[in-house]
Amino acid sequence: MTKRTLRIALLLCDTPVSRLPFTRLSSANVISYLPFLRTLGIIYKVWLHTALASYPDKAIASNTELIIDAFDVVDRMEYPPNEKLIAGARDGYDAIMMTGAKYSAYDNTSWLKELIDFIHSVATTPETQHVKIVGICFGHQVVAMALGGTCVKGDNGWEIGVYGNEVTSEGRYWWCGDVGGQGKEEKHRDHVPTLPPDFHLLLKTERYPIHSMVKYHPSSTPSQPLAQILTIQGHPEYTPTIVSHMVDARSASGLFDVPTTTEARRRLGGKDGTGGEGFNRVGWAIWRMLLQDLPLHPVPSTNGHATDDVAMDVEYVSGDVEAGPSRVTDYIADQSRWSVIDKVLDRRGPWTDEVFLGGQQTKDVLRTKAKILVIGAGGLGCEILQNLALTGFNDIFVIDMDTIDISNLNRQFLFRETDVGKSKALVAAEFVMTRVPGVKVTPYHGKIQDHPPSFYMQFDIIIAGLDSISARRWINATLVQMVDEENPDSLKPLIDGGTEGFKGQARVILPTISSCYECSIDMLTPPTVFPICTIANTPRLPEHCIEWASVLEWPKVFKDKKLDTDDPEHIEWLYQQASTRAAEFNIEGVTWSLTQGVVKNIIPAIASTNAIIAASCCNEAFKLATTCAPSLNNYMMYTGNDSVYTFTFEHERRPECPVCGGENITAQVEKEWTLERLVEWLSARQDLQISRPSLAHATGLPLFFQAPPQLYEKTRPNLDKLVSELLPNGSQIVVTDPGLPFSLTVEIKYE
């Protein structure tokens, strides 16, 4: 079973009573004297660990790691950072838990107002509704105050010690059957008089009716209840010793009168002297909720949710018998689903690498240790995510900056019509985790360029399923620059996949060892390049007019507004400008569809090609992670136009590669060349793949800049000058381009 890490943000709302020095503690009585450790964080940590250790499902208990971060919300007003609460956050929190306190939830204090606002925000903001909330005693009351309920001082006096509970029909599911005889330590007088909106009652006591309640996640259904918020008025984390010292302190201060103190001491140990079942069945109920995975984005339920009078699709049992494990738990625990893959990993074969170990150690690497990043969640990325999850990778990250468009739905099968407009990465991650229980997919919505090298250093393998040449060049250059010869872990294999119609390729790049992406840039289809002087002065084709509108006119009119090629209004503006330009020069053929095709460089996408290339990429990832077979060395080409054809070869490193090579590019310039001719020569080079190069002296002084418009106008006269007038023989220039993630150094040599 995959090791699972559960992270809890513990909001400390009080400091327990302390009257004995820490030196009196020993390992034998540490639980009994936990209040003297002067921190609720220790008490809750021991409680949760103890309850987990006795959890009925031993497989879950032994494969769950608990991490608790404590925040002082009273004196320091500390809270979990927002970036650790949003969907897809690295090392983000799975749950928030609030402790008990000596305060009243209806107090008019600044720290309490902030706490209530914080809980309300986390519970109601879609981006954080996957974070579960647990309220204990005072936390139970704060939840009510934050979500439309109230908290008042009780008229029936204090509840102190162990009290039994009356269970509702829904409570039997969450509290492990009949809990009428179950008790836990109590210490409160304030209570929640009525259920807040959308909450369901689970437990009640004789004195106070709302003792435990649940609020379901928007994606919850009667057949699969998902708890977003679970609260309890009691103190399952307390032992009789803890409560006894608290009673002594409250009695000495005069807060408890003699009858209250006497009744409290009588009830301290419960029926058997252990203080109830806070460390057993009550603790298990909390764990049952914590172990649920909530969707990253809620899906509104059309049928509402189960109430006390609606039977859930769960087989309830009574007495001390634990309710049966869920189908999801069964599925995750069932290792037979990997039986076919295990045949490859359990034994050596004729093509097995010498370093292959096989057996459980190799399977653990694949299913518990390997961390893999998928760049792109489009046509290729959807196939890759599916394959990785079904192959056994359990810790997957995906990053994509795009949102879902209606045109994606014919091949990007992780998306539905209701997802249009949502983040591809977030929706894809949620879909895969729903369909393949046990797999964790962490999504990031944004550009790969927004993350520093340290972000990519955490991964074992990176798979690029990108449709952008500039993005592929960037990640390739970044991974090459990350390599430190003294640190083998800094070398991150890059598996690059790409498709165009019926053609595709997959390759394995070992930065600084094998050829990199830049080494093969000349194999790409040449970009359509129009000389800047042609589109500015003498257009002859409809494409010239469209390029003029997008490259020159748009920046001139909209100085601070970036062109969005996916915005129909932007395309319409370009079309109108290009049509006017074409009419001036008697050029025909400018259409709306041609305008869109030119500015977006539309490439046809075919689902079958995506499936084949994705399968190859994931196969290579599987081989790299397990060493069960030699990896691809290093390039595979596929064509499916007339028949299915593949060809594998080793692409060699290019010595003058600007990324992994050590030589500069040399330009053999004829003396009659103008600077414009040099710009055209650079644009036409297949091994550079640039379309709008800007040139500068090695000192940084501009020679010719394509943008911004002010610099273009200032440096444009240099285009008509001879290169020999501007640069001496042997001088170096720096070339930049929007499609380059780096700058090029070019040495000028005159023939």
Active site members = 533
- Whether cis (ω within 30° of 0) applies to the bond prior to 708 is yes
- The DSSP letter of residue 128 is G
Residue 596 carries which side chain, given as an amino acid letter? Q
Contacting residues for 325 by C-beta, under 8 A, at least 6 apart: 57, 333
In the three-class reduction of DSSP (H, G, I as helix; E, B as strand; rest coil), residue 388 is classed as helix
Question: Tokens for 65?
Answer: 């790691």
Query: What whole-number distance in Å separates Cα of residue 584 and Cα of residue 579?
Result: 9
Q: Report the b/e string of 425-436 with b at 16+ CB within 10 A.
A: bbbbbbbbbeeb
Query: What whole-number distance in Å separates Cα of residue 332 and Cα of residue 437?
Result: 6
- The DSSP letter of residue 324 is P
Query: What whole-number distance in Å separates Cα of residue 218 and Cα of residue 129?
Result: 9
In the three-class reduction of DSSP (H, G, I as helix; E, B as strand; rest coil), residue 323 is classed as coil
The neighbour count for residue 681, using CB atoms within 10 Å, is 16
In the three-class reduction of DSSP (H, G, I as helix; E, B as strand; rest coil), residue 411 is classed as coil
H-only helix segments in 660-708:
675-684
Question: Tokens for 558?
Answer: 């909209």
- Which residue, 227, 196, 193, is CA-closest to 210? 193
Contacting residues for 398 by C-beta, under 8 A, at least 6 apart: 373, 374, 375, 377, 381, 385, 425, 428, 429, 441, 442, 443, 444
Query: What whole-number distance in Å separates Cα of residue 151 and Cα of residue 195?
Result: 10
CA distances (Å), 384 to each of 196, 294, 444, 458, 564, in order?
44, 23, 16, 20, 28
Query: What whole-number distance in Å separates Cα of residue 705 and Cα of residue 691?
Result: 13
Residue 401 carries which side chain, given as an amino acid letter? M
Strand partners, 645: 639
CA distances (Å), 553 to each of 26, 105, 308, 541, in order?
78, 61, 66, 17
In the three-class reduction of DSSP (H, G, I as helix; E, B as strand; rest coil), residue 544 is classed as helix
Is the CB of residue 22 less than 8 Å from the CB of residue 36? yes
Query: What whole-number distance in Å separates Cα of residue 290 and Cα of residue 271?
Result: 28
Question: Tokens for 685?
Answer: 């080079």
- Which residue, 397, 410, 406, is CA-closest to 445? 397
Contacting residues for 293 by C-beta, under 8 A, at least 6 apart: 433, 437
Q: What is the CA radius of gyration of the chain?
A: 33
Taking the alpha carbons at both ends of the chain, their separation in whole angstroms is 68
Q: How many residues are given for the chain?
A: 751
β-pairing verdict for 95-98 and 4-12: parallel
- The DSSP letter of residue 459 is -
- Where would I find the beta strands (DSSP E) of 63-147? 64-72, 95-98, 132-136
Question: Tokens for 383?
Answer: 């196939």
Residue 336 carries which side chain, given as an amino acid letter? S
Is the CB of residue 154 less than 8 Å from the CB of residue 190? yes
Query: What whole-number distance in Å separates Cα of residue 231 and Cα of residue 100?
Result: 11
Helix (DSSP H) and strand (DSSP E) numbers for the chain: 24, 25
Task: Report the sign of the C-alpha dihedral through residues 421, 427, 428, 434, in that order.
Answer: negative
